[in-house]
Chains A and B, each alone.
Chain A
Amino acid sequence: MADTMGHSATATRNTRLALGFCLLAIAPQIFELIWSIGTIFGWGAGRGPGTVLTSHVTALLAGAPSAIFGSFGGGTKKMSSEVLLALIYTYPLLVVAILTLFMTVRSAQDYVGGVVLMAVALFALWAGSDLQGMRGFSFGAGTAPRMFSGLLVALSAAIALTGLLTDGPAMAHYSWRGPLFVVAAILFFALAIRPLGVVVTAFISFMIAATGSQETRWREAVIVGACLTLGCAILFPYVLGLPMPMLPRFLIQ
């Protein structure tokens, strides 16, 4: 602690970590909000962004605290799914985020790994909270998921703890280009295979994926991509007999 330089460095690092965890704590709410924007354009059915925003904000700021205090009073009224999300998922993670500010993280790899895994487990705990529990001697639908989520919370907490107690590697470096383009290629494939067919989809996906590496030589990639597409077009629908469209739908009809 005598080394002030080192201390301030870990302090900034911890603030960033804590901020990250706060963001993680409200990630499901943000995700639902973004998802709900789609309803404006008429994609999918669901609640509009306005309703989503107000219900989550009230749950986070008012519903959940009152539920906590209410439970001391012995009130057991049924809680809404937003309040449950805040109680089961967001609040514990916010607590972790605040605690992070006061900790010396000795292995960021383990600590962050543990905390994120804990977030997954808490989220699963929430996702399974509407399921029935034990009924007499027989398991309910929710028994096993809750058991495993609880176990994972404990295990991930232990992992996070080892990250505080023992020295270990720092956070590994993440790159953005590879993941971005590979995932983009996969997404494109998923969305295009039905309307556009194997030939078009496979070739374009190939090219998107190839953009993910800086080593790619374009002429070579086009040639290989075309050959691969041809190969796939023969192999999958004909040799293996998989029922998949070959050409774009608008060309066939």
Chain B
Amino acid sequence: MDIFANLAHGFAVALSPINLLMCLIGALVGTLVGVLPGIGTIATVAMLLPITFGLPPVGALIMLAGIYYGAQYGGSTTSILVNIPGEATSVVTAIDGHQMARQGRAGPALAIAAIGSFFAGCVATVLIAVLGAPLTKLALAFGPAEYFSLMVLGLIFAVVLAKGSVLKAIAMIVFGLLLSMVGSDIETGASRMAFNIPELADGLGFATVAMGVFGFAEIIRNLDAGAEMSRDLVQQKITGLMPTKKDLIDSTPAILRGTVLGSILGILPGGGATIASFGAYTLEKKLARDPSRFGRGAIEGVAGPESANNAAAQTSFIPLLTLGIPPNAVMALMVGAMTIHGIVPGPQVMQKQPDLVWGMIASMWIGNLMLIIINLPLVGIWVRLLRVPYRLMFPSIVIFCAIGIYSVNNAPVDVILAGVFGLVGYWLIKHDFEPAPLLLGMVLGPLMEENLRRALLISRGDWSVFLTRPLSAVLLAVAAGLLVLTVLPSLRSKRDEVFTESEN
């Protein structure tokens, strides 16, 4: 078979000492960047891009790819330990992962995240090698109408993941959508709700808002009088580092489902990976016998989304490797790296640059192996970090977050905005609003609006395109079904509450 010859060739390339070293550096830097709150993958790859000029192209790309998926491993660490998601894809990991950490189960949460990511990474790598070319058709079949429907589905996921009131969750999504409207209009370039602040011209950054409503708000809340007790409790309770047999049994199906979902959605450029992790969480919550455990430290709530986002991180290479079209900002930077080396990727990159493509695919598997070897022993160190007294921990987190946010655009205004969102987040906590739906609304908002407008432009204002295009119709049907499933029971229980109270 051709494929084995290709893979063998790829491994021969990837196993050369220099490429192994590049892969290791990429994995290490990726882990570091993922762990540090605020510093995103995009910023890091952009910073390190100049260094790759002096390297051979294959090595350079192996390293950059390593940073990209390494950050997916590292990102879950901060989400679980300190409730600060660094990327949109790790927002859901924070929900149950951090609850597990509060119950003294940070070790199992981190370990299962690493194991799930490893499994998903391996499967997705094989998928790229075997099915890369046919799967490309999916990416091309997705037009604006399909993307809009997918985003609608994504927003329904956000409703499902809410722990408390559905009404409040929907309000938070809409709040997030509204925040995402800040910036420039895509069609006319008009400045929207930016109050003539130049830094707002391109909208609020995800990292800025996420650091604010998760990171800073969490710190401020923990400083409240009376919060010391629960904190100290967390530090004393730390039990086993590795997952128990029961944890493994519980999370195996979640990892499998997450991997499948992530692999499929990862191929779609723009937002695919985010929707994959939210979708995996929703799926687990809907399939669970006792959905009330979710949001209170369910290990499936970590295993599913983490597998999904790592699978998606791998399969998102497919459009780049088969079409030469970068599906997201990090990939666009990799295209930049290739161009600097005189390789302009296109549909024939697989035939013209077999070393590069197959070497990269093989290195992904090797990289994932390295990452699990790096990350499992690190679990012990991370958990020990939780024992650092909070009075020293919180100023350090403040500084790391501030530097991280500043580094994204070298803009002090971003840091101030994150501080403002910290206060907003504190207020949200006090009024029992959840920040996760807000962030999802913020990430999906622009994608939804832009694709809706594109679809309507192309159809000349005919809304029926969303139903006449089969893929789009299916996605909308799934969304509608899910909404009914979610809203009905909660309405019923709400009504029961109202009735029981009025009887008294």
Contacts and interface: CB of A to CB of B under 8 A. Distances in A.
| Direct contact, A vs B (beta carbon within 8 Å) | yes
Is the contact region of chain A dominated by helix, strand, or loop, or is it mixed? helix
Contacts of A139: 187, 449, 452-453, 456
Nearest to A106: B501
Nearest to B392: A224
Contacts of B187: 138-139, 141
A7 B479 CA distance: 47
Interface string B99-140: 000000000000000000000000000000000000000000
Contacts of A182: 216, 219-220, 223, 394, 398, 419, 422
Contact of A109 (B224, B432, B456, B457): B432
**Of listed B195, B224, B391, B407, residue having the most chain A CB within 10 A:** B391
B171 A186 contact: no
Size class of the A contact interface (CB-based, 8 Å): 35 or more
Given A127-B195, A172-B430, A186-B402, A138 B220 contact: no
B178 A145 contact: yes
B433 A113 contact: yes
B220 A186 contact: no
A221 B395 CA distance: 9
A82 B165 CA distance: 36
A138 B188 CA distance: 11
B399 A202 contact: yes
Nearest to A173: B224
Interface stretch (B43-51, B276-284, B480-488): B43-51
B461 A124 contact: no
Contacts of B406: 189-190, 193, 244
B254 interface: no
B207 interface: no
B148 interface: no
Interface in B282-301: none
B415 A190 contact: yes
Contacts of B416: 186-187, 190
B332 interface: no
Contacts of B225: 175
A145 B181 contact: yes
B185 interface: yes
Given A155-B167, A244-B407, A179 B174 contact: no
Interface of B: 29, 32-33, 39, 43-44, 47-48, 51, 165, 167-168, 170-171, 174-175, 177-178, 181, 185, 187-188, 190, 192-193, 195, 216, 219-225, 228, 389-392, 394-396, 398-400, 402-403, 406-407, 410, 412-413, 415-416, 418-419, 422-423, 426-427, 430-433, 445, 449, 452-453, 456-457, 460-462, 497-498, 501
15 contacts: A128-B193, A142-B192, A144-B452, A148-B174, A166-B501, A178-B222, A189-B415, A191-B412, A193-B402, A194-B412, A213-B390, A225-B395, A239-B32, A240-B32, A242-B43
Q: Which 7 residue pairs are nearest across A and B when measured between Cβ atoms?
A: A137-B461, A178-B223, A113-B431, A186-B419, A141-B185, A190-B415, A209-B395
Interface of A: 109-110, 112-113, 116-117, 120-121, 124, 127-128, 131-132, 136-142, 144-145, 148-149, 151-152, 155-156, 158-159, 162, 165-167, 169, 171-175, 177-179, 182-183, 185-187, 189-191, 193-194, 198, 202, 205-207, 209-210, 212-213, 215-217, 220-221, 224-225, 228, 232, 236, 239-244
